[in-house]
Structure 1
Amino acid sequence: MIQKVRNFTDSTNFSNALKVTLAAVIPALFFSFQGNFLIGFNIAIGAFLAYPSDIPSNLKHKINGLLVASLLVAGCNLIVNLLHLFPLVFYPVVSLLIFFFSMISVYGQRATQVSFSALLSICLSFGHIQEDFSMMLQYSGLMLVGGLFYLLISLIFAYIRPHRYVELQIASCLKLTAKYMKLRGDLWNVNSEREKIVEKQLILQVELNTIHENLREVLIKNRTNTSGTSDQTRKMTLVFISLLEILELALATSFDHTKLQQKFEKHPKLLKTYQNLAYNLASSLKAIFKSIENHQKYVPKHSLLKDLESLENAINNYQEELGKVEASEGVWMLSNMLHYAEKQIEKIKIIERAFMPNFNSNEFKLRDRSLDKLMTSQYYPWSTLRENLSFSSTIFRHSLRLTATIILAFIIGSIFAFDKVYWILLTIVVIMRPGYGLTKERSFHRIIGTVAGGLIAFALLLFVTDPVIKATLAITSMILGFTFTSINYKVGATFVTIYVVFVYGIMTPNINDVIQYRILDTLVGAGLAFLANYFFWPSWEFMTQPIYIKKSIEANRDYLNEISIYYNAKGETTPSYRLARKNAFIEIGNLMASFQRMTQEPKSKQKQVQQVYKLAVLNHTLLSSLASLGTYVQTHKTSKASEAFNVVVQTVVKNLNYAITFANLEVSEQMATAENNEDLAMRFTELKNMRAKELKEAHLSDEDEFQLKMQEAQLVIEQLVWLTNLSESIVKASKQLSQTK
């Protein structure tokens, strides 16, 4: 229990909650003692509203984001108050402001959070309209001070613990990668449900993609002349790169488990020995994660080299038992498994060494020079906003929906004389998301949390009368509320409600009315958000699925082109190769995330759900095969790429292009099919020529060279055949998807 509490208080979520609580409580308490509670309260609101924009990033982007958010929060409040003096333009201009700030989400996560701060400020302004111009300026100025004060607190935290966020993200990455590796071990069970295991792996890949992007943002973009050369930064970058390579190698190496189990049915010890090694690979990563989480010195619990030696001995025993000739095929299969394990152990050993006391970060000076080229440059052109001003854009639909819902809520609040209409508006902004599934989930969680929090707060207030105790409970609830909001929204909403009720309990005696209004307003806001997502220009996932499918196929196609270029030219891997590989992993994750969102929508809206999942799995398998081919040509001395190789690659690329056109409905089915059949005949001929050519080039006098060429020919040809078959399957699946639209 003590360790769990320690882990909780050491988490990033708790740290963020502590920052915003300090930024709000310090000015509130300070000015309360001076007899000016309202001044401190207004500063606290500014800190609250700036807080959402404090997302993980390098220091420069953090400062810029919080400065912009603080200015917008204060500016929006001032504009709403000024517009209130001119009723004729008030609603049209406020509507445009809400729509505009919703639309800037097209510029990414940071812009989304800044827009969220601005929208909260607009909604909150409805409840604090000032009639006097000097009061407007004062109130907005205090909110600006609150935002700047939060920025100061955030910078102090960053200075005190500059590396803790990265360490926790690395720990999460280790944990998820260990789970992924554990699932690979589960695939060796005879009766394993492989389809479910693959689905779990795809879901894990979505989570890993998010963490990888966070780490790229902080580690790579934050490498300045000072922090970029620090031991800790180099160490974390080394671990991050190694974890990326572990996942990529795992994806690049797939085994035919059914075939292998049939092959070694009479020798179960072989596969059991390998499975034990596979599990220990995962356990080693998990042990490193535990050491980071618990602030303990890392001590290896598994001897991976001994496990590797056990596998080698098992292979030798198998060869001696059957004889060299009869065991040759089995030994070749097992050798591939052994080679994969050796590579993974090598990378895990690098991570283990990084957490040893005598780690020398100078060994890592040259490995991260081109990492910054993998980052997507951040700029905000107006063209991006213009391109999204159409109903084909999910953000555009969401912006219209949010604007209409807020105006509708304001009208309903005015007609039925709600005491605090802005609570309804705030609920809508907090709950409503572009997707139906997440909005539905947050609506129910918000309602449950608000009702539970209101009841708990009411029960506590029956016994608690001391203002100091009320303030203490309010601060505690505030910390817990902000901590749990991103972990468990239901629990977070419960504590936030308790905090709000206690604050009002300090400020006003009629607390029963506050609880009733809070629950009623939340019910109305959540209900409107839920209904709006269903009826107001809904963005069902089946509407955007073709985009994700197209992008994933395009990313795989571009990755294949880069592999082909590298195979023909040799040399060092180029930044474009690594960028194409990164994009392929990200787009497959995005496609799977879209599929997950679709499964949360009403059954009537889950159109072609099985077909979409089939395409997600096919594209994931294609990526695995591409990574396998790319890894092989990088790590082995290969002969010059034959003409047949290039012809087959072109055939696969054409197949993928056909799949894209089917997804876009850009060409007729007859045209695509006719061209495709012509290339398929060429493919089989070229593959046969390639095999014959490779065999003729082999020098029988040199056994080692012969084996290497045979291995290369076998692996490359098998991968090309597999790639071609997969690309054909993707074409068929895309065709079926387009025919059922």
Structure 2
Amino acid sequence: MNYSSELKKFVTSQYVYSAIRITLATVLPCLVLAHFGILKEYFLFPLGTSFVALTDQPGPFIRRRNALAFAIICFIIVALIASLVMNFKILVFAEIIVFGMFFSLIGVYGQRLAAVGSLSLVVLAIFIDGHLTGTNILKSLLIFASGCIWFLLIFLIVTTIQPYKLASQMIGENYLQLADFLKIKANYYQKNPDFDKLSIQVIAKQIEIKNLQEDTRETVFKTRTIVNESTTTSRLLMLMFLNSMDLHEKLMTSESDYQKLQQSFDDSMILVNIHDYLNLLAEEITNIGIALQIGTRAKPMFNLDVELKNLNHLYFDLRNKRISPDNFEDFMILRQILMRINEITKEINEIYKVFSQNVKLAKSLSTGLDLRKFMPNEEKLNFKVLKNNISLSSSHFRHALRITIALLLGYAFSLFQFLGIGHTYWILITIVAILKPAYSITKQRNLLRLYGTLAGAVIAYGILHFVHINEVLFTVLLLSMIMCFSFLKGRYFWAVLFMTIYVFLSFNFLSPGNVNIIFKDRIVDTIIAGIIASLVSYVVLPVWEHTQNLELMKKSAESNLKYFQSVISKFLDKDFDVEEYKVKRKNAIISLANLSDNFQRMISEPKNQQKKLEVVHQFVATSHLITAYTASLSQYVKDDEKYPEIDSESWSKKIEAEMQQVSNLLNGGKMSEVLKMESRIEPEDSSLEDMILKRRTELTENESYDLRDPNKISHLTELKNVHDILELIYDVAKEQRKVIENYRNESESATVSEATPLQS
């Protein structure tokens, strides 16, 4: 592992940048207040700042600004009502019901408002018993509101000074994720790879890339300064992001029969050499990502032309020594892999060229795409959407009920005086943090919260026991806050650990000498909240992942079919619309990632809820292969190259018939005799077979050619690879159809309704 590179990736990321901004916005007022000796009295000011800051989700400036303003209004209203009714227990229970339902339900409008809703419930927890407000409610509310508005001002100033910073960092992170993806793919070429483990890693990384691409699309395509301005920076960022998506497709094309490759070339070093070169390419992509995050121009780290030339020479030397009539088709596959690597190298070099564009060339940077087609779908802010989700059939409504019931239980528990709970709000805050719509995520966060709290509490206790220098404690507090906010999105255990440390240190500054009480309360409250969240998530109207499988499988099958049709249309000499092709590629990748994510969560659920797990697993695996092989086929879509030797029309009918059968079965239909017949069509690729036979005869007669042009590939090799890819797509589509067909037959024999074949 390159530790220097890993450190740069972390330090220059949007998460650290955002964490530093939140920390400074929170701590600077604390320093001023502490200087005047009134920090304890005005503690709600930095608290309000940190709460509003945590609602700031990546995205377009206008949406972020509006969400922050909405958050401030919600926080003030919640704080006001909670402060007024805190002495009337019946009204407190009523406000928990109203606020719990409303602020959980607004999550139907997307992650941004879901974050506002969650933090509004945290504000409710803070003000619910008057623990931090004191006797002067109006003064406390004004201090709290001032802290909230303070962060909004910080946000407006920073985004005005650096309007492109977030987009640049998010695009940079896309490249870093692609580099990690390539490193995983490179491991298929190392000695004795663990194929099952690598397949799981590939699917998991695809999910991460999809989620990041969706967030980046919204940020880039809906930010006016990027879309509308004709500056070098705006055009550059737009093209860098679009290039990252093209690069993603090229990385997916490296899907091959790796087990056969390992068997064919196990006694040579060529696969290890490919592994090493792919890691070099990954380092270059990482370099581009880091440069984008920093905001500098990237320069190549290695001479890729020389490295690629050496790799090609190794291949040609091996080929000339070992090629024979028995193995020449293996060398064809390896040659095609090298050509794909060559394409990836060209793409990286092209990205470096775009990166080095100067102001004079800025006007030449143009996408030529209708960007509206690439924007993620989002629920519009109208009351009808909210109203339609007030139903037990809505997963959002069920989640809102679970949150509300858990908060009611948590608050009721805190009223038992014999437990000696001194921080009621910690139970409620922990419940809001842990309890998520998916049971698997709740379970995972529950454990991470407990482990992180225990570890953080022990570390903080040790720090406070041995360190008594305020300057050192303040430095640790500052670093803990930065690390907590940096890890909050991706590494929850570490976020909770550092959060616990800075909470302990904060309370120590406010009330020195109470570390034992804080230690006990923090642990006890976390355990109580964890138990409540676990029970509620399991018992109260849970939404299990198997109930989502069918719809996600339908979407994936449909998206893969449309993606394949778009690619094969070029081989059929039909109109090929690049924009429509890219939209269908995007939809196929998103649908695949959503299905994979659903399967990953399903694995973490109770065994009795992992219904038809094997069927879903096989469907995910085959869907991944279809998407990857279709991406490989798309690389042969060229204006200057035709493949008349391939019976593209027959292959198109044959493959589409199998894929259409899958969609029909998933939608409760029956097997179509017409589609059955089309799937049995035998493509007339006889001319290709004749060419292969001729080449085998040449090799038998020792007619081998030492042609060493790494940029050229024989027409026969391309034909063979196009044919093999089409055959692979057909075989996988057929396998997928058999999986669903067998399941349907089993379901029907068990008298299970055809209308919901995968939800039983």
* TM-score class normalised by the smaller sequence: 0.7 to 0.9
Contact 2:270 2:315 in 1 (8 A): yes
Give the superposition deviation at 1:34.
5.3
Question: Could you give the per-residue CA deviations for residues 609-631 of structure 1, whole angstroms, max 9, x where no partner exists?
Answer: 33322211100011112223333
2:501 is equivalent to residue 498 of structure 1 = yes
Q: Secondary structure at the match of 2:225?
A: coil
SS in 2 for 1:187: helix
* The one of 720, 723, 727 aligned to 2:733: 727
1:629 is matched with which residue: 633, 646, 653?
Answer: 633
Aligned partners of 1:103 and 1:385 also within 8 Å: yes
Which stretch shows the higher mean deviation, 432-441 or 220-229? 220-229
Report the residue type matching 2:484 in the other structure.
Answer: G
| Aligned residue number for residue 104 of structure 1 | 106
The 8 Å contact of residues 52 and 116 in structure 1, kept in 2 or not, is answered as no
- How big is the shift at 1:172? 3.5
**Pick from 525, 530, 534: which aligns with 2:534?**
530
- Are 1:58 and 2:64 matched, yes or no? no
The Cα of 1:488 is off from its aligned counterpart by 3.8
- Which residue pairs with 1:220 in the alignment? 221
Distance 1:355 1:708 in 2: 33
Which one of the candidate residues 478, 485, 488 is aligned to 2:488?
485
In 1, Cα distance between equivalents of 2:727 and 2:566:
18
> Residue 79 of structure 2 contacts residue 124 of structure 2 at CA under 8 Å; is this kept in 1?
yes
Once residues 334 and 345 of structure 1 are traced to their aligned partners in structure 2, the CA distance between those partners, rounded to angstroms, is: 16
- Residue 628 of structure 1 aligns to which amino acid in structure 2? S
For 1:680, the aligned partner's letter is K
What is the CA–CA distance in structure 2 between the aligned matches of 1:604 and 1:508, rounded to whole Å? 49
Of 313-322 and 614-623, more deviation after overlay is shown by: 313-322
Contact (CA 8 Å) 1:73, 1:121: kept in 2 or not?
A: yes
Confirm or deny: 8 A CA contact 2:446 2:530 kept in the other structure: yes
**Residue 582, structure 1, aligned to residue 586, structure 2:** yes
Question: Is the partner of 2:305 in helix, strand or coil?
Answer: helix
Three-state SS of the structure 1 residue aligned to 2:637 is: helix
The answer to whether the 8 Å contact 2:622/2:732 transfers is: yes
SS of the equivalent of 2:130 reads: coil
How far did 1:186 drift?
A: 2.9
Structure 2 match to 1:448: 451
The equivalent of 2:425 in structure 1 is 422
Structure 1 segment 268-347 matched on structure 2, within 5 A: 268=268, 274-275=274-275, 277-289=277-289, 300-310=300-310, 313=313, 329=329, 332-347=332-347
> Larger RCO: Structure 1 or Structure 2 (Cα < 8 Å, ≥ 6 residues apart)?
2
650, 656, 667: which one aligns with 2:662: 656
1: distance between equivalents of 2:255 and 2:511? 65
**What's the secondary structure of 1:224's corresponding residue?**
helix
Code of the residue aligned with 1:111 in structure 2: it is L
1:204-248 Cα deviation digits (max 9, x unpaired): 111212222232233332252798433333333333333322221
Cα distance, 1:50–1:643 mapped onto 2, change above 3 Å: same
For the 8 Å contact 1:655–1:728, the answer to whether it is kept is no
- Give the unaligned 5+ runs of structure 1: 697-706
Shift, 1:582, TM fit = 0.5
1:44-83 alignment, distance < 5 Å: 44-83=46-85
CA contact (8 A) 2:483 2:495 kept: yes
Contact kept, 8 Å, 1:81 with 1:130, in 2: the verdict is no
**Stretch moving more, 382-391 or 610-619:** 382-391
| CA 87–634 in structure 1, closer or farther in 2 if over 3 Å, else same | farther
How many residue pairs align between the two structures?
718
Residue 147 (structure 1) shift:
1.9
Cross-structure match for 1:403: 404
Cα 1:560–1:210, aligned 2, differ >3 Å: closer, same or farther? same
Tell me the CA shift for residue 50 of structure 1: 0.9
Give the match for residue 677 of structure 2.
681
Bigger mean CA deviation after superposition, 390-399 or 462-471? 462-471
Alpha-carbon separation, structure 1, partners of 2:734 and 2:458: 59
CA contact (8 A) 1:470 1:506 kept: no
For the 8 Å contact 1:648–1:720, the answer to whether it is kept is: no
Give the secondary-structure state (helix, strand or coil) at the position aligned to 1:539: coil
- Measure, in 1, the Cα distance between the counterparts of 2:473 and 2:315: 70
Moved more, 410-419 or 117-126: 410-419
CA distance in 1, matches of 2:357, 2:480: 40
**Structure 1 position 155 matched with structure 2 position 159:** no
Q: Does the aligned pair in 1 maintain the 2:226–2:235 contact within 8 Å? A: no
Shift in alpha-carbon separation, 1:498–1:657, aligned structure 2, 3 A: closer
The aligned residue for residue 708 of structure 2 is none
Does structure 2 retain, via aligned residues, the 8 Å contact 1:56–1:62? yes
Cα displacement string for residues 372-407 of structure 1 (whole angstroms, at most 9, x for unaligned residues) = 430125423444434444444433322211110100
Q: Is the 8 A contact 1:53 1:66 kept in 2?
A: yes
Question: Matches of residues 638-653 of structure 1 in structure 2 within 5 Å?
Answer: 638=642, 644=650, 647-648=653-654, 650-653=656-659
Q: 555-564 or 565-574: which moved more? A: 565-574
SS in 2 for 1:191: coil
- Which stretch has the larger CA shift, 69-78 or 488-497? 488-497
SS at match of 2:588: helix
Distance 1:582 1:737 in 2: 29
Q: Rate the CA distance shift 1:413–1:638 in 2: closer, same or farther, 3 A.
A: same
Q: CA RMSD in A?
A: 4.0
Q: Post-superposition shift, 1:340?
A: 1.7
| CA-CA distance at 1:94 after TM superposition | 3.1
* Structure 1 segment 693-732 matched on structure 2, within 5 A: 718-732=724-738
What is the TM-score with the length of structure 2 in the denominator?
0.82
Residue in 2 aligned with 1:374? Answer: 374
Measured in 2, the distance between the counterparts of 1:450 and 1:189 equals 40
- Three-state SS of the structure 2 residue aligned to 1:254 is coil
1:556 counterpart (560, 583, 591): 560
Is the 2:9–2:290 contact (alpha carbons within 8 Å) kept by the matching residues of 1? Answer: no
Distance change (3 Å), C-alpha of 1:73 and 1:567: farther
Q: Is the 8 A contact 1:54 1:62 kept in 2?
A: yes
Which residue number corresponds to residue 609 of structure 2? 605
Equivalent residue runs for 1:86-101 within 5 Å: 90-101=92-103
CA contact (8 A) 2:105 2:396 kept: yes
Which residue is equivalent to 1:13? 15
In structure 1, the residue matched to 2:233 is: 232
Residues 255-306 of structure 1: per-residue CA shift (max 9 Å, x gap)? 334445666688x466566555444433433454566678998554443333
Deviates more, 1:9-18 or 1:354-363: 354-363
Q: Please state whether the residue corresponding to 2:42 is helix, strand or coil.
A: helix
Change in Cα spacing, 1:141 to 1:580, as seen in structure 2 (3 Å) is: farther
Moved more, 65-74 or 461-470: 461-470
Question: Structure 2: which 5+ residue stretches go unaligned?
Answer: 691-712, 748-759
Deviates more, 1:453-462 or 1:576-585: 453-462
Residue in structure 1 matched with residue 124 of structure 2 by the alignment: 122
Shift of 1:150: 0.7
| Identity %, equivalent residues | 25
TM-score for the superposition, normalised by structure 1: 0.84
Distance in 2 between the 1:448 and 1:317 partners? 55
Where do 1:158-177 residues align within 5 Å?
158-177=159-178
SS in 1 for 2:223: coil
Question: Which residue type is aligned with residue 447 of structure 1?
Answer: L
Instruction: Output one character per residue of 1:706-727: Cα deviation in whole Å (capped at 9) or x when no partner.
Output: x999778766655444333322
Structure 1 CA distance, aligned partners of 2:344 and 2:231? 27
Q: Residues 96 and 404 of structure 2 are in contact (CA less than 8 Å); yes or no, is this contact kept in structure 1? A: no
Cα distance in 2 between the residues matched to 1:74 and 1:386: 25
Q: What are the within-5 Å matches in structure 2 for residues 233-248 of structure 1?
A: 233-248=234-249
SS of match in other structure, 1:408? helix
Maintained 8 Å contact 1:177/1:285: yes
CA 1:479–1:252: 2 relative to 1, 3 Å: closer
SS of the residue corresponding to residue 555 of structure 1 reads helix
Change (3 A) 1:386 1:693: farther
Q: Give, as a single letter, the amino acid of the residue that structure 1 aligns with 2:541.
A: W
Are 1:541 and 2:545 matched, yes or no? yes
Q: Say whether the 8 Å CA contact 2:571–2:648 is kept in structure 1.
A: no
